[in-house]
């Protein structure tokens, strides 16, 4: 039992943090939040807690996790977040600080999925291979991607590939050296003692607090659910009974993406290459298909031939199917995604029978695959090849399931059937997604763990948590602990909110993109000039951002940074911080999780209210399901999602007590929602006189920042 006095000793005036931290400011709400978390632990229940910027929520929940671990040596807390920077902060700053100030010894570790680590053995093999080709010289070009990755490898202590520059993560070389379970030799590997993944796993097994990401949380929980394992067994994550989900506003989207199945041309070709073209030196240059065929002693030449013939047939038929799903008219009508019922030629009028035919081809291929893999007494040196082939077979099985679901889509009201493609006219993906993850989250996580704490700075949409609770399966939950703690910063004096309160603003409208871009460009140039830069301009679409950039760039004298495809968000953020007075045009990845201190950010422009794109298949399907039940999807989905995303964007401005700045919402639709918006965000100063017009924004910005 965690006592209130223990928490008061940490958070109260004169307590551990007050004595040990320079410039510590007592936050009554931080103590109250810690008490809410402790109640979840003490009563074995679930909590949903919104804690605004500056509350110090990580200290609040970590202190409880530490106290629980000290009280009971069997207690283990997993903290799952979506942000790499937050994971590093928890491990490298917050936990060590609390451990030192509380004068305790509590073990903690960072554990991510295997593919997030570089494989020591693969990297060593790749380096040796290069040396054999080039002599003493490792890589010909010191500035090459390979050389940069290798130099990182020589210095990293974690082996986590996200430490690399963002662009290097897409390098073919890093793909070659990532860790994976199929080729792993475990203890037989000569580099096992230096393996980054297994060292992280071993440290996690010996730790009372494990920090991980949302993805590994879902992987681990889904394996447990399929195997019927509870959380007292070790799966990927060691046994645990307490969970904190930080940045929980992302959990529905992350879970939906994780539990979706995809099939596209690129993945099919890569899977075929791994099976029939990639060679294995340890087996005299044989392909994996050759190796599998020889493992089955009673297999004949005809079996191997049928295996390859059917695989090629699947490749050809799938290419034909995927290439004919969309017409030119469809690509013009939709940007990058649509439901199967939206295409010019309805799915059931031609594509359905072709999906069924492709499924039959895949069934025949899988029958041969199963026959070849049904091997008894596999030699030790061949176990790795069986694992690799089994993983590939499971991929083909997932595509078989996807095709069968598409064929019988009318019988699956709980699934969403849609297509996705690149905005540059790329290949089409067939996708099956869950309509809702609420039941899965409830059954696989919330009902099985002793306690779960969901926390974020943006959970409420309006007056309560009802939207979030319905998303993740907590609607109607008994004994639910809820808490709302607003940011302690002085927004009424340090932050101003401007919006087109009169009729001179312009509503965003899809049919008037260019006119809206012209309006935005004029307004942005005006307010940026008044703020003398230090401006973050947030967009919801790359198309609108590019249109505005073309019109505004000549009018902005400051350094203008623009987010482009493949650009590292963190690299852009650093540039923006270092070049004080610069201007940054950013997309969705800049709406949350970005901290820009002081003078580098004093003006934030929201170019349009962030309603979910009308093409979003998940949103549309959920809206249609609500409408069928006689409910209002606009009030239950569209508006709550917009408010939460808007809160995230606005939250970029004020990150400390000393920050001062202005938020400008350019979209005139804000007039309609201003009371809701103001009820969701901290108490910004909002001018209420008759002169609150777009034409006056520049002067108001200048007066507020410099008077």
**How far apart are alpha carbons 98 and 93 in whole angstroms?**
9
**What is the predicted pLDDT for the residue at 25?**
83
| Domain ranges, ordered by start, for the chain | 4-107+207-256+437-485, 115-193, 260-434, 491-706
**What is the predicted pLDDT for the residue at 322?**
94
The answer to whether the 4-107+207-256+437-485 and 491-706 domains have the same CATH topology is: yes
Across 468-549, the runs of DSSP E, i.e. the strands, are 481-485, 495-498, 535-538
What b/e sequence results for 508-531 when a residue is b if at least 16 CB atoms lie within 10 Å of its CB, and e otherwise? beeeeeeebbbbbbebbbbbbbbb
**Cβ neighbours for 23, distance < 8 A, ≥ 6 positions apart:** none
**What is the predicted pLDDT for the residue at 431?**
97
**What is the predicted pLDDT for the residue at 23?**
81
**What is the predicted pLDDT for the residue at 135?**
55
**What is the predicted pLDDT for the residue at 134?**
60
**Cβ neighbours for 79, distance < 8 A, ≥ 6 positions apart:** 61, 62, 65, 90, 209, 210, 211, 212, 243, 244, 246
Across 82-221, the runs of DSSP E, i.e. the strands, are 108-110, 209-213
**How far apart are alpha carbons 82 and 213 in whole angstroms?**
5
**What is the predicted pLDDT for the residue at 300?**
83
DSSP state of 250: G
**How far apart are alpha carbons 613 and 611 in whole angstroms?**
6
Taking CA atoms, 104 is separated from 60, 71, 101, in Å, by 16, 12, 8
CATH class held by domain 4-107+207-256+437-485:
alpha beta
**How far apart are alpha carbons 450 and 243 in whole angstroms?**
8
Q: Which residues of the chain have pLDDT under 70?
A: 131-143, 424-425, 566, 689-691
**What is the predicted pLDDT for the residue at 521?**
96
Taking CA atoms, 507 is separated from 97, 522, 546, 637, in Å, by 48, 15, 19, 21
Pick the CATH number of 491-706 from 3.40.50.300, 1.10.10.10, 3.40.50.2000, 3.30.390.50: 3.40.50.300
């Amino acid at each position: 039992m965690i006592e209130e006095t223990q928490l008061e000793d940490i958070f109260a005036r004169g307590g551990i943090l007050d004595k040990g931290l320079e410039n510590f400011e007592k936050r009554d709400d931080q103590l109250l939040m810690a008490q809410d978390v402790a109640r979840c632990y003490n009563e074995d229940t679930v909590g949903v807690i919104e804690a605004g910027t500056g509350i110090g929520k990580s200290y609040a929940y970590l202190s409880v996790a530490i106290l629980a671990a000290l009280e009971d040596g069997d207690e283990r807390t997993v903290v799952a977040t979506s942000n790499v920077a937050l994971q590093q902060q928890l491990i490298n700053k917050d936990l060590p600080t609390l451990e030192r100030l509380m004068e305790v010894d509590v073990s903690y570790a960072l554990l991510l999925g295997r593919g997030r680590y570089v494989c020591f053995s693969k990297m060593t093999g790749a380096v040796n291979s290069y040396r054999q080709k080039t002599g003493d010289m490792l890589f010909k070009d010191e500035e090459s991607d390979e050389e940069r990755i290798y130099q990182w490898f020589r210095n990293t202590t974690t082996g986590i590939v996200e430490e690399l520059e963002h662009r290097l993560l897409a390098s073919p070389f890093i793909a070659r050296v990532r860790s994976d379970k199929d080729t792993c030799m475990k203890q037989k590997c000569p580099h096992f003692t230096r393996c980054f993944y297994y060292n992280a796993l071993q440290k996690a097994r010996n730790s009372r607090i494990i920090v991980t990401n949302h993805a590994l949380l879902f992987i681990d929980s889904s394996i447990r659910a399929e195997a019927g394992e509870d959380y007292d067994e070790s799966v990927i994550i060691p046994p645990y009974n307490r969970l904190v989900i930080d940045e929980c506003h992302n959990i529905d989207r992350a879970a939906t993406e994780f539990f979706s199945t995809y099939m596209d041309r690129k993945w099919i070709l890569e899977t075929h290459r791994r099976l029939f073209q990639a060679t294995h030196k340890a087996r005299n240059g044989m392909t994996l298909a050759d190796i599998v065929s020889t493992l089955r002693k009673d297999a004949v030449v005809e079996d191997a031939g049928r295996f390859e013939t059917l695989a090629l047939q699947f490749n050809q038929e799938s290419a034909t199917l995927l290439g004919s799903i969309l017409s030119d008219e469809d690509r013009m009508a939709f940007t990058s995604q649509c439901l199967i019922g939206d295409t010019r030629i309805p799915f059931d009028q031609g594509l359905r029978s072709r999906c069924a035919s492709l499924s039959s081809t895949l069934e025949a291929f899988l029958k041969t695959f199963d026959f070849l893999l049904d091997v008894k007494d596999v030699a030790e040196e061949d176990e790795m090849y069986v694992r690799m082939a089994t993983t590939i077979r499971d991929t083909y099985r997932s595509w078989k399931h996807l095709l069968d679901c598409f064929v019988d889509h009318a019988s699956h009201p709980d699934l969403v059937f849609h297509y996705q493609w690149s905005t540059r006219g790329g290949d089409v993906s067939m996708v099956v997604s869950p309509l809702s993850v609420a039941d899965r989250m409830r059954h696989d996580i919330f009902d099985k763990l002793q306690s779960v704490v969901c926390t974020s700075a943006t959970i409420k949409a309006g007056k309560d948590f009802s939207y979030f609770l319905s998303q993740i399966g907590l609607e109607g939950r008994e004994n639910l602990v809820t808490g709302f703690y607003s940011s302690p910063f002085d927004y009424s004096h340090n932050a101003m909110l401007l919006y087109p309160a009169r009729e001179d603003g312009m509503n965003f409208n899809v049919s008037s993109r260019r006119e809206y871009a012209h309006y935005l460009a004029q307004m942005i140039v005006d307010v940026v000039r008044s703020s003398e830069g230090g401006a973050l301009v947030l967009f919801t679409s790359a198309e609108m951002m590019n249109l505005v950039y073309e019109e505004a760039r000549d009018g902005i004298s400051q350094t203008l940074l623009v987010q482009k495809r493949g650009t590292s968000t963190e690299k852009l953020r650093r540039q923006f911080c270092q070049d004080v007075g610069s201007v940054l045009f950013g997309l969705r990845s800049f709406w949350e999780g970005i901290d820009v201190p002081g003078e580098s950010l004093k003006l934030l422009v929201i170019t349009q209210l962030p309603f979910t794109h009308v093409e979003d298949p998940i949103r549309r399907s959920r809206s249609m399901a609500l409408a069928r039940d006689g409910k209002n999807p606009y009030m239950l989905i569209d508006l709550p999602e917009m408010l939460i995303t808007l809160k995230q964007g606005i939250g970029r401005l004020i990150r400390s007590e000393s920050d001062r700045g202005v938020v400008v919402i350019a979209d005139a639709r804000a007039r309609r929602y201003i009371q809701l918006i103001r009820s969701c965000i901290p108490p910004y100063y909002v001018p209420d006189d008759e002169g609150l017009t777009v034409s006056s924004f520049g002067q108001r910005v200048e007066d507020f920042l410099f008077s």
